[in-house]
Chain A
Amino acid sequence: NAGVTQTPKFQVLKTGQSMTLQCAQDMNHNSMYWYRQDPGMGLRLIYYSASEGTTDKGEVPNGYNVSRLNKREFSLRLESAAPSQTSVYFCASSPGRLTPQHFGDGTRLSIL
């Protein structure tokens, strides 16, 4: 079983460029999440989707947009990348509400 799959694994962008991080899960989970992990700060929730067709802001949503394309896929878009968005991004899913339980291996994003 693949679990939660994120693409790409690494990406380098220039300031002002845009890109979309892809996430797909094959566990038929209702809830999906996007987190960022920065040194010394723990994981912080960017956006979440409680179910197909719904999305909501988390703790640090500024500069990001999301799309829950279907039950399997949840994408994160940076419209105009900034150096402060250099981070490791994790997608997660869970069968029920509230608590993420299954994580992808992350996308390491550097913005110059």
Chain B
Amino acid sequence: KQEVTQIPAALSVPEGENLVLNCSFTDSAIYNLQWFRQDPGKGLTSLLLIQSSQREQTSGRLNASLDKSSGRSTLYIAASQPGDSATYLCAVANSGGYQKVTFGTGTKLQVIP
């Protein structure tokens, strides 16, 4: 059974700092990996989707990498801003059907002005 772990559970950084969020998974036979952002009281917003054949994806100040062999993905946020404060979740999809998407419990990020 796929297990997805995100450490740390919470992170506080000063504005302007570059930071890395981590996601690890136990089954490397994945179909894709997706990073989401969740603001308090809101749904999830998809940030980046990495297919299993890709090594990384970039969108603006965000860069996500994928290393299947080690079961790890990182989300790099450059020049953090207070508006980046949110919970970030990763979700791993394994081959085999819709029920094979496993979510991590997220990293709650606070960017301090």
A-B interaction: yes
Q: Are B98 and A58 in contact (CB under 8 A)?
A: yes
* A90 within 8 A of partner (CB): yes
* B103 within 8 A of partner (CB): yes
Closest chain A residue to B44 by CB distance?
A103
Residue among B32, B36, B93, B101 with most chain A CB within 10 A: B101
Closest chain B residue to A108 by CB distance?
B41
Q: Smallest CB–CB gap between B3 and chain A, Å? A: 10
Q: Are B101 and A41 in contact (CB under 8 A)?
A: no
Complex Cα–Cα for A101 and B93 (A):
12
Complex Cα–Cα for A58 and B99 (A):
5
Partner of A41 from the list B42, B45, B97, B105 (CB cut-off 8 Å) is B105
- Number of B residues with CB within 8 Å of any CB on chain A: 25
* B28 within 8 A of partner (CB): no
Q: Are B45 and A98 in contact (CB under 8 A)?
A: no
Complex Cα–Cα for A42 and B91 (A):
10
Complex Cα–Cα for A92 and B31 (A):
19
Query: Chain A contacts of B99 at CB under 8 A?
Result: 45, 48, 56-59
Q: Mark A101-112, 1 if CB is under 8 A from B, else 0.
A: 111111000000
> Chain A residues in contact with chain B, CB under 8 A?
4, 31, 33, 40-45, 48, 50, 56-59, 90, 92, 97-106
Apart from A45-B98, A100-B101, A105-B42, 11 more pairs, CB < 8 Å: A4-B43, A41-B105, A42-B104, A42-B105, A43-B91, A44-B103, A45-B99, A56-B99, A98-B31, A99-B101, A100-B91
